[in-house]
Amino acid sequence: MITLEGARRLYDGADAAHDFDHVLRVLALAERIAQAEGADVEIVRAAALLHDVARAETAGTGECHAQAGAERAREVLCGHPPGRVEAVAHAIAAHRFRGSLAPATLEAQVLFDADKLDAIGAVGIARAYAVGGQRNSRLWAAVSPDYTEGDLSNERDHTAVHEFVFKLSRLTDGMHTETGRAIAQERHAYMVAFFQRLDQEVRGER
């Protein structure tokens, strides 16, 4: 439905955590999960290639990049069978962790899981710090029990540690597919061990 090179051109200006390298990692995971779960690989592939296509243009606007991305995908895929285009659009619209739309198809669940897998493990840690660097966030901070997530767009005090507590540590429990859950277990364990070790080193305990 769309080629790699056709998709690559749509990600000019993307930040390091959501650039085309991220798209390619999600694509590899999505194809792996789709094949294992019996999903429509063509739908999953197109959705993975286009899932963050509107992120750069919606950054800082308050607009949901997933919903905007679904609309953009409809434009990009115009001319393909409408039912298949809508299947791609739904998967994109439902892939956001902080979104309100649940993935209602197997293909949407595959994309959701693949995207979240790229947010945990070693890559997830690296991405969290890439975002923190863009915000000039501190390297580490204790998470206060009364801290609320709030608006993260320009919060310097919302560090990668906060992102781990509020989002990354919860992703494994939200996986939709058996394959996604299996891959997530090891990545989750690695990530937990990293943040535990980070905390110990910062406090001078290791």
76 lies in the same domain as 164: no
Tell me the mean pLDDT in the region 132-151.
82
Range of the structural domain that residue 64 is part of: 1-99
Q: Which range is least confidently modeled, 18-27, 56-65, 67-76?
A: 56-65
153 lies in the same domain as 86: no
Q: Is residue 77 part of a domain?
A: yes
Q: Is residue 106 part of a domain?
A: no
Cβ partners under 8 Å of residue 203, min gap 6: none
> Measured between alpha carbons, how far is 31 from 22 in angstroms, rounded to an integer?
14
Count of domains observed in the chain: 2
Query: Is it the case that residue 152 has pLDDT exceeding 70?
Result: no
Query: Is it the case that residue 120 has pLDDT exceeding 50?
Result: yes
Percent of the chain predicted with pLDDT > 90: 85
> Measured between alpha carbons, how far is 28 from 3 in angstroms, rounded to an integer?
14
161 lies in the same domain as 198: yes
Query: Is it the case that residue 155 has pLDDT exceeding 60?
Result: yes
Query: Is it the case that residue 154 has pLDDT exceeding 80?
Result: no
CA distances from 155 to 85, 90, 116, 132, 136 (A): 37, 31, 22, 9, 9
State the average pLDDT for the chain. Answer: 94
5 lies in the same domain as 89: yes
Q: If pLDDT is split at 50, 70 and 90, which confidence band does 46 have?
A: very high
> Measured between alpha carbons, how far is 204 from 12 in angstroms, rounded to an integer?
42
Cβ partners under 8 Å of residue 98, min gap 6: 167
Structure tokens at 60: 């800082």
CA dihedral 43, 46, 47, 53 (to 10 degrees): -160
Q: Which of 99-108, 151-160, 187-196 has the highest mean pLDDT?
A: 187-196
Tell me the mean pLDDT in the region 59-81.
95
Please report the DSSP string for 126-162 in residue order: HHHHHHHHHTT--S-----TT------TT-TT--HHH
DSSP-derived letter for residue 168 is: G
34 lies in the same domain as 75: yes
Tell me what pLDDT residue 26 has.
98
Query: Is it the case that residue 153 has pLDDT exceeding 50?
Result: no
